[in-house]
């Protein structure tokens, strides 16, 4: 990291603290199912052949 990045991060943290802004970042885990061959997840489940391409 360079000095400008550190100064900017410190400034944002100070402003958030002074104004009770808080941190609105969150991690969002998303999964997608795609078999890529025209089947669907329910056919894959019943055949016990789930794939994730």
Q: Is the model's pLDDT at 53 over the cut of 60?
A: no
Which residue pairs, CB below 8 angstroms and at least 24 apart, start in 45-49?
none
Cα distance between residue 40 and residue 49, in whole Å: 11
pLDDT digits (tens, 9 = 90+) for 5-25: 999 989 888 887 777 766 666
Which pair of tokens denotes residue 44? 């894959």
Please report the pLDDT score of residue 52 as a whole number: 60
Cβ atoms within 10 Å of 35's Cβ, excluding its own = 15
Cα distance between residue 43 and residue 17, in whole Å: 52
Residue ranges of domains in the chain: 3-47
Q: Is the model's pLDDT at 36 over the cut of 70?
A: no
- Give the helix ranges, DSSP H, for 1-53: 3-18, 41-46
């Amino acid at each position: 990291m360079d000095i400008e990045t550190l100064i900017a991060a410190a400034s944002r943290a100070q402003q958030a603290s002074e104004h009770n802004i808080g941190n609105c970042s969150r991690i969002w885990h998303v999964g997608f199912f795609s078999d890529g061959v025209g089947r669907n997840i329910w056919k894959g489940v019943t055949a016990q052949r789930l794939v994730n391409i």
